[in-house]
Amino acid sequence: MSFGALHGLGGLAGGLLVGFLAAGLDRILTARLQSRIGPPLLQPVYDVVKLLGKEALIVNAWQAFCACTTLLTAALAWLLFVLQSDLLLVFFVQAVGAVFLVVGALASGSPYSHIGAHRELLQMLAYEPLLVLVFIGMYLETGSFRLEVLFAWPRPLLWRMPFLFLVLAFALGIKMRKSPFDLSACHHAHQELVRGVLTDYSGPLLALTEIAHAFEVALMLGFFTLFWPGWGVGRFLLPVAVWAFVIGVDNATARSNWRWMLGTAWGLGLGLAIVNLVWIGQG
């Protein structure tokens, strides 16, 4: 087996590890904040294994296809990031996966799935423009969308893009479906029993969406490593600090409505992004 193939397989395994560890630590930290002991660190892995062993109850073939496509595109987006491909290509691939998750929910006849799908579309409408502006800022500063250039950039992008860093943190909270942005689904029981966009995904299909979400979280956290050069402590601490902040906000706030989410994302998020882009453009 070639070195490239080994690197790719190792990257996929690393992405799953990061995503599941983030989910496990999320549950433990949330439990401690609520004066509970919480589940084991690897409980998300146990849940996925249990789901894979259940009987597949498929609403229709299109939903099954969408679940598989969501996983494949999420894994491909993470793999492209690990292999230091083009940043815009990574963005568009992950966006395709998010769209298929929504399409799979719309393929169901459940009104809960349809409402969750519509809310997921609204969340995409909120965070996708923010991600685009962050990547444009990186291009204006470095002159390239190539991840190999961004990873090798000699100066911390954080000093030149502090507002865009905050915008990316904003997008992370929406992408992870954390309060106050968990409109379409929630991974904790403190909001609701019906899981919105994931309502009609069950058994192995639900497991596929959980694995895809692990890759998505790993990818979003990986974007924060671009703000710090080298492979020192700073590159590791940035995503950890933002992740901890998002978990803290999740446990300190209640669910918002979609109007507040869009107003905040487009008002505060786009405002900060435009200010930072002008700053970069002025040199």
List, for residues 224-259, the tens digit of each pLDDT value. Answer: 999 998 777 778 899 999 999 999 998 888 888 888
Tell me the one-letter amino acid at 275.
V
How distant is the alpha carbon of residue 134 from its chain centre?
15
**Residues 47-77 pLDDT 10s:** 999 999 988 777 788 888 999 999 999 999 9
275 closest CA partner among 174, 128, 133: 133
pLDDT of residue 10: 85
**Cα(278)–Cα(283) distance, integer angstroms:** 9
- Kindly state the helix (H) or strand (E) to which residue 78 belongs, with its residue range: helix 61-82
User: In this prediction, what percent of the chain has a pLDDT beyond 90?
Assistant: 58
Through-space distance between the first and last CA atoms of the chain, rounded to whole angstroms: 47
CA angle 70, 73, 77 (to 5 degrees): 135
pLDDT grade for 196, boundaries at 50, 70 and 90: confident
pLDDT grade for 278, boundaries at 50, 70 and 90: very high
The answer on pLDDT for 187 being more than 70 is no
pTM, to two decimals: 0.93
Q: Are 23 and 176 in contact (CB under 8 A)?
A: no
Spell out the domain ranges in the chain.
45-281
Residues 188-215 as b/e (b if ≥16 CB within 10 A, e otherwise) read beebeeebbbbbbbbbbbbbbbbbbbbb
